[in-house]
Structures are given as C-alpha cells and as structure tokens.
Structure 1
Amino acid sequence: MSQSYRVRLSRRTVLTVLLAVVVAAGLGLALFQPWKAFTDTEVNEALPASSSTQPMPSMKESAMSPRPDAGPKDLTEGRFVTHEHATSGIARTVRLADGGHVLRLEDLKTSDGPDVRVYLSTRDADAVKKGLGDGAVEVGKLKGNLGNQNYTVPAGTDLSGFRSAVLWCQRFSVSFGAADLSMTTG
C-alpha cells in the first residue's frame, strides 16, 4: 500500500519565500548590473584648449608674460593592456596651454561595468592587477567605454611619480585594463 505525502505550505510561508527571492534578485541586479555586458556608451571629446579648473590670466598678465607654448603638449603616452576585461586604446597625459593637465583616453575600447573609475597609479600596468597602490589619484568616473575622453588632473598633482593610467572597477576592486605611461619624444 503506497501512501502519498502532501506538503502543505501556508500562504504566509509562500509569501515570505517569494519576498526573499525578489529582494535577493533586486540586490543581485543592483550589485552586478548584468545589462552593462550588453550596452556601450561612446564619448568623443576634443582635446581642450585649456583646463576648466585653472584661472585664465588677465589681459594685463597675458601681455606681460606671453606663454612660449601656445598649445597642448604631450608629456607621457602608453597603450592599454587587458586585465579583467578586454581593453585597448591609448592613454596620454597632456599639459594644456594654461598650465593645467588632462589625462586623455583615445580610441578606448573596454567593457561597460558598474562603477568604473579612471586613475593614475604609481604602479606599472602589470602591477595594478594586484591593486592601485599607495598614492593613486582618481581623475573621474569613466564617461564611456568607447571613444575619446578627457579627465582633468587635480591642480597641484605632480605627474612625475605616476607610472600608469588605470580603468578600475570600484565595486569589485579589479582593473579592467591599464596603460604604462612613458615620456613622449618630441
């Protein structure tokens, strides 16, 4: 003689389980943002003529002390290498005519991701796989995962100690990719 067992769940138990599943799914979506694996954001900015954070000289100052460098000057440059996500493009540090500095990313191609930031690091591109290192400076949130973009380097930052530009995911503490910055010739 076979006897079938039937588990009877109360309405309260079913609702509690469903609520827990919905909350867990919501937290998972917010944390991982899986739709970013299927989206791209392209940004194409021109190299600025001057830094927006530097005060412009007055007419009197300009007449008294003309600048010998009329335009932007490349300081360092490097190609991105892949770390956690396929990444390519060029990173350049540029001194603008007004003395301000920008980190410029050109022909950038990487994955979109949650909370990706752009940093200058004192470590070389290979070493940042293990972390940004002491003295890293954030220059902004990644504007787009494709294209050409500029990030203002904070005034007073000494660029001589930085060895790489890094695309760093804050949420998961991983490098998407990094570029060793070498002095440019010319």
Structure 2
Amino acid sequence: MWTVLGIAATITAVAGLVWFKPWALWVDETVDEALPTAGTTATAPAEPPVAGTSPSASSTPTEPAGPVTLAQGTFISHEHSTAGTAKVVRLADGSHTLRLEGLDTSNGPDLRVWLSDAPVKEGRAGWGVFDDGRYVNLAKLKGNKGDQNYPLPEDVDWSALPSVSIWCDRFDVSFGAAALARV
C-alpha cells in the first residue's frame, strides 16, 4: 500500500512540476531585436494633384519614410512586476509591428503577447480582464526581458485593440499590460 501511495505521490509531484514550471520564475530569457526595416525598393504612392494646380516635384513617388511610432504605452504590473514600453510602429513598407522595448517581467509558463479591447486596470482588477472581450494572440513571448518585435497581421485593426498584455495562457492571468495611446 505504501508503495502505491509513494508512486502516486511521485507522479503527482512530477506532473505538478511539469504543469507549473516553477524554475521559469528564476530563469531569464533576454531578447535584443532591432526594429525591423522594410525593403527600400517600395515607393510611396504619389499625392494626387490639387485641382487648379500643376504637378510639382513633391507629387512624384519618393522613398517611404522610416519607421513611425503610431501609438505607445507603458507597462503596469499585474500578477508579476512588469516594466517597459509597448509601441505600434508603421514600417516603411506600410506594415505594422508591435514593439516591446525594455521589457522586464518574470518568466513563466506559456506567456503570450495579446492585443485586447479590454481597458488596462491597475491591481488585481486588471489581472483577468483581457480575455473577456475581443483579443488577438500575436505570439508566444520571445523573452521576458529586452526588446522584441511582433508583426501585426494585416487583417487586425490594432486601433480597435488598444491594450497589450503579457498573458499567461496556462493560468489565464496578465503578468502586466500597457494601454496604447496615439502619439
């Protein structure tokens, strides 16, 4: 009988360790990605001429402007201490990326980067709101520290999803979040 209980306790302990991954809290994964750049062969569409004027040199196609920050926000802590900045950046080719700069949070099991329509709330009230409405799971978090980029799908209207959450999908809780405000 004691052997069966010992085996059951061992199986339970191993399953618990695999599920919770407590060692992840002490292991940092640092990412240092540069802001992506688009190819320089694309050209911006020409501005249509204003009625009654002649075309000018400024209406000819030109090289697109470099990356432009459209919205940004500062992370607040939820379940775990979280700091850094989230930015929506339009790249020269017109695509958009979510950039996390100076991210500093705990590591954990199954962390994701989400855009959500839920408001960012301080304290425990904000821990679990991001899956209550519309959200987009952009990707698995690349690392719990550093600078990283997440391309935004073309069919996602990021302006309708003004919150970024570092979401623990295993426990349905936000480690930290940032409210995006247009700049």
TM range (shorter): 0.7 to 0.9
Give 1 or 2 for the bigger CA radius of gyration: 1
Residue of structure 2 aligned with 1:36, choices 8, 24, 35: 24
Residue of structure 2 aligned with 1:129, choices 107, 116, 127: 127
What amino acid does structure 2 have at the position aligned with 1:89? Answer: G
What amino acid does structure 2 have at the position aligned with 1:35? Answer: W
CA deviation map 1:116-154 (0-9, x unaligned): 100011112116423213220111101000000001111
TM-aligned CA distance change 1:160 to 1:67, over 3 Å: farther
Moved more, 105-114 or 156-165: 156-165
- State the secondary structure of the residue aligned to 2:75: strand
Q: Corresponding residue for 1:7? A: none
Alignment partner of 1:112 is 2:107: yes
- With structure 2 as the length reference, what TM-score do the two structures score? 0.83
Distance in 2, Cα, partners of 1:16 & 1:161? 55
Alignment partner of 1:89 is 2:87: no
Identity of aligned residues (%): 45
Alignment partner of 1:72 is 2:71: no
Number of aligned pairs?
A: 165
Structure 2, unaligned stretches of length 5 or more?
A: 47-60
- Equivalent runs, 1:102-181 vs 2, <5 Å: 102-126=97-121, 128-132=126-130, 133-181=132-180
Distance in 2, Cα, partners of 1:110 & 1:63? 38
Q: Quick check: 2:43–2:64 contact (8 Å CA) kept in 1? A: no
Q: Corresponding residue for 1:20? A: 8
- State the secondary structure of the residue aligned to 1:114: coil
